[in-house]
A and B are shown apart, each in its own frame.
Chain A
Amino acid sequence: MVGATAVPAEPRGLRGDLKLIADLVAPRSRVLDIGCGEGELLAYLTQTKAIDGRGMELSQAGVNACVRNGLSVIQGDADNDLEAYPSGAFDYVVLSQTLQATRRPRQVLESLARIGRHAIVSLPNFGYWRVRLSLLIEGRMPRSTLLSHAWYDTPNIHLCTIRDFLSLAAELGITIEQAQMLDQHGHAYRLRAESWAANFLSAQGVFLLCRP
């Protein structure tokens, strides 16, 4: 007998930022999840919001796990494989905790806004006070729950602060429809993304974007 596991009937606890992302997605929409891992978000959205979901994942093991669970997922990465998609092909394109690991974040962000009517991006904030402090006091490259790698083997090659991200979005003419700041455990802060406090206090941000 084949040991395929079905998509769990009761979605297990989603990562904090994924739960927030899920809340931003309208029911029965078309969603492309880039860097979908083992398909947690897609499976959750398929069950709770009946979305038409697609995924892209770098690791072959992740892709195979997704397809085994009945999700439509291909092997690929944000840097190389977004160009093939037509403009406006999806209602939402999701990129969670991945932008900072791409080789060309600016082009990737442009692609997201082109392919999706909306893009949802979550990213760690390098302006977070603990990050600043560890560099300032310890004089070491910061490590935290969100940035857990040592400097020599981190995939996060293009880290930025909330403020950096906002300015890139503005430069590309991308509108920020919603922004949610989170602490390191994924709990929401009531802070305006543009504020100094947001850039200092939040460990990560989730943004709902749309193209001009």
Chain B
Amino acid sequence: MAFSQPIERPGHILAVAEPLQLESGAVLPSYQIGYQTYGTLNADRSNAILVCHALTGDQYVADTHPITGKPGWWATLVGPGKVIDTDRYYVICSNALGGCLGTSGPKEPNPTTGLPWALDFPVITIGDMVAAQQKLIDHLGIDQLFCVIGGSMGGMQVLHWATAYPERVFAAVPVATASRHSAQNIAFHEVGRQAIMADPDWCNGDYIRQGRRPQRGLAVARMAAHVTYLSEAALHRKFGRNLQDRQRFTYGFDADFQVENYLRYQGTAFVERFDANSYLYITRATDYFDLAAEHDGVLAAAFRRTRARYCVISFTSDWLYPTTESRAIVKALNAVAGDVSFVEIETDSGHDAFLLEQPEFFRTLHGFLDGCAKHRGLR
């Protein structure tokens, strides 16, 4: 069983021996953070960019994934000579708390029992993820991050970083994200969680000890979620009503259509690299995210202490985190006369656009980072 044994991890692991106070009130007695770094930290430690990954992402932002063997999920953006230039910046990416690639989460052993945490792992929030990341940044000896950037759930972490630790963030780039999870997004997450929990192999979360894996449930969760990452136009452009390796309908429930085949592939590929309980915990963390709620319902109040230069980016066809959500963030920043840029990128690729090579997105980000670097006095 792949998950019953520690997988080989080429990256770094930071073990934190002190407890982490969680927003729920629970305490994580100790924890570890899996992370990757790229480039070199400069002498005055001012060139660090923290990349925050999305829901099912991980720390392998720019190098080969240890399980799938695929290139890093933002390898088009991060690397030598690229927009996030690792010849210029020191790039850090850590696996989120609750994740399944080296950072403490439900599949890691509970230090008190030595057995996998499973559902005994405390429920975590975006704030908890950032609190854990903060320890990593301390460990790396960085007082202020030059930039924190991330899309989707990564964007939520960016917003939390810049508002909860304003003195530690020089520039913030929340991409395709929102200041709170909408009812629709919570609803989609609930569908995914129910799919996992309905799989008999889930075993009330105890599948690792019982030597089983809820692969079908997790795959269905991924398939449903994947549809929300695309757009009607993108699905039509890619697949239309094309049939999969056949000339006519089979009049059965095989994958007649290319789009079905594609989704099945997405589901199967996902379960190879992701833990079902992690999916429950991480989707829950994003559901709980509501930046305004932490400030008496006034979003602008969240940004009152912020000092960062923001670049808010949305995509026209993203219906999971639509432009209106980004605009709400911009409006709140305007209300405190914050330093904010906002661009909406035209694309039919839906929410997934932030992971794809989008020339206008890349040019905008390059210009923003370059401008910030000048202000920060980076060479």
Contact = CB atoms under 8 A, between A and B. Distances in A.
Interface residues of B, number: 31
Contact of A75 (B311, B332, B339, B344): B344
Given A67-B341, A73-B341, A75-B342, A4 B367 contact: yes
A187 to B, nearest CB: 34
Given A70-B368, A72-B339, A85-B337, A3 B363 contact: yes
A71 B366 CA distance: 12
A148 B360 CA distance: 31
Nearest to B310: A72
Given A74-B330, A84-B334, A68 B344 contact: no
A113 B368 CA distance: 30
B362 interface: yes
A2 B369 CA distance: 12
A86 B336 contact: yes
Contacts of B343: 60, 63-64, 67, 75
Nearest to B372: A70
Given A67-B311, A75-B344, A86 B335 contact: yes
B186 to A, nearest CB: 27
B374 interface: yes
B366 A68 contact: yes
A84 B370 contact: no
Interface string B308-336: 01011000000000000000001110111
A74 B310 CA distance: 11
A54 interface: yes
B337 A4 contact: no
A70 B309 contact: no
Contacts of A89: 337
Interface string B356-376: 000010111011101110100
A91 B332 CA distance: 20
A2 to B, nearest CB: 4
Nearest to A56: B334
Nearest to A86: B337
B367 A81 contact: no
A109 to B, nearest CB: 19
A74 B334 contact: yes
Contacts of B339: 52, 54, 72
Contacts of B334: 74, 81, 84-85
A76 B341 CA distance: 11
Contact of A68 (B331, B342, B367, B372): B367
A143 B346 CA distance: 34
Contacts of B13: none
Contacts of B6: none
Chain B CB within 10 Å, residue with most, of A2, A52, A75? A2
A60 B326 CA distance: 15
A150 interface: no
A205 to B, nearest CB: 28
Given A60-B344, A63-B343, A75-B342, A68 B337 contact: no
Which 9 residue pairs across A and B have the least CB separation, nearest first?
Answer: A70-B371, A68-B367, A89-B337, A74-B342, A84-B334, A2-B366, A67-B341, A4-B366, A4-B367
Given A66-B341, A68-B367, A81-B334, 11 more contacts: A4-B366, A60-B343, A64-B343, A64-B363, A68-B364, A69-B371, A74-B340, A74-B341, A74-B342, A76-B330, A90-B337
Interface of A: 1-4, 6, 52, 54, 60, 63-64, 66-76, 81, 84-86, 89-90
17 contacts: A2-B83, A2-B363, A3-B363, A4-B370, A64-B360, A66-B341, A67-B343, A67-B368, A68-B366, A68-B368, A70-B367, A70-B374, A73-B342, A75-B344, A81-B334, A84-B332, A85-B335
